[in-house]
Amino acid sequence: MAPKKLRFQKDAKQLVLEYEGGEPLAIPFELLRVESPSAEVQGHGGERPPPVRGKQDVVVVRAEPVGHYAIRIIFNDGHDSGLFTWEFLQELGENLDERMAEYRARVADFEGR
């Protein structure tokens, strides 16, 4: 389901999604960047590449609508591939703590090798 409103808060470094009759969901720009649904981040053919690191200060430069189902987010580090569907954004927002913990664990595991 598409949110009724999107707000990119540069100072807070987060995207806020507002849904009809629901609580707003806030997603840090860092999580959007490191969980981008692009092949560069998610991998090709089932193999996941090393986790993206060092994106705590990444900022969204702009976002472009893609039909009625997604947006393309352009980050200040040049990353601009991957379509963020409404379903994917809602899942990130609803599972924020779990997704951040999983990401941090992947980084720690990679750096501990």
Give the CATH number for residue 93.
3.30.2020.30
**Which pTM was predicted?**
0.92
- Chain position carrying tokens 């705590």: 56
Considering its fold, how many domains does the chain have in total?
A: 1
Task: Provide the residue range defining the domain that includes 59.
Answer: 5-111
Residues of the chain with pLDDT under 50: none
- Residue 113's pLDDT is 73
